[in-house]
Structure 1
Amino acid sequence: MKRYYVLKYLLDTDTLIYWLKGNQSIEEKALAVGLAQLGYSVISHAELYFGAYNSLQKDKNLQAIQLLNQKLELVNFSAGPAQLFGKIKADLKQQGNIILDADIMIAAIALTNELTLVTNNAKHFIRIPSLSLENWVTG
């Protein structure tokens, strides 16, 4: 697969939320690998906005998203990940392993761009073959 970014890691929505809430383990790992190696998907971006607009601290959370967007590369969901999404979803459905479309989209973005997905939600993502996973919350 062709790699479109110089990134190494794609941070999942849950990891981003832990980081924004001050998780020290994620902060240390992010600084150790370098912010230039980190990205997050437009899917996670949308999920963060939903969380912000649905929260009691809307302005604070919207500001946190803006700061995050200044630090990290935003990785789009384009034609390559869209095609892979369709294949992964069909394969999972045939196996009886349904997971959320958003998670499949995030996985497709990571796979298409040869990125390691950083998540604390491995129970969903381990169902997707060849997806490289790391958990920075538990170490």
Structure 2
Amino acid sequence: MRFLLDTNAVIAMHKHQGFRTKLQQHHVADIAISVITQYELYYGAFNGSSQHLSANLLRIESIPFTTLTFTPEDAKRAAIVRAATKNQPIGSYDILIAAQALERDLILVTHNTREFMRVPKLRLEDWL
């Protein structure tokens, strides 16, 4: 595994051909999503239009990548990240996702580089 997709990257997977092209350059086993990302996607599906709910749920459930669970080690790393970024604006869920990438030495793929670049030692790529 080499890459962890942020929520906006998973959404881009369905909307942007350029992103899909970049994604196809990598093996499925090299890519993962966080259970936190999965939560954000489910929330978006249930909070959105009811007429698109089934299609959105199907998209989420058909994501072919490994889903990383949140471990005690991730929790500890998230606390370290939170302490290191306490005076900088970064969302709580983003801290959790960043911690998982750091803990597993993964590159975080995101279009939200402005926020994530505040996390020390986090490796980022923007495929959009």
Aligned to 1:13: 7
Q: Does 1:119 align with 2:91?
A: no
**TM-score, structure 1 length as denominator?**
0.88
For 1:113, the aligned partner's letter is R
Hey, what's the Cα distance between the residues in 2 that align with 1:111 and 1:50? 25
Per-residue deviation, residues 38-85 of structure 1 (Å, max 9, x unmatched):
1000000000000111111111100000111xx100011111110011
| Match among 51, 57, 82 for residue 62 of structure 1 | 57
Q: 1:42-57 alignment to 2 at 5 Å? A: 42-56=35-49, 57=52
- Which secondary structure does the structure 2 equivalent of 1:10 belong to? strand
User: Structure 1 unaligned runs (5+)?
Assistant: 1-6
**Overall identity of the aligned pairs, in %:** 36
CA deviation after TM superposition for structure 1 residue 98, in Å:
3.0
For 1:130, the aligned partner's letter is K
- Over the aligned positions, Cα root-mean-square deviation in angstroms equals 0.8
User: Structure 2 unaligned runs (5+)?
Assistant: none
Superposed structure 1 runs of 4+ greater than 2 Å apart: none
For 1:74, the aligned partner's letter is T
**TM-score, structure 2 length as denominator?**
0.95
- Which secondary structure does the structure 2 equivalent of 1:33 belong to? coil
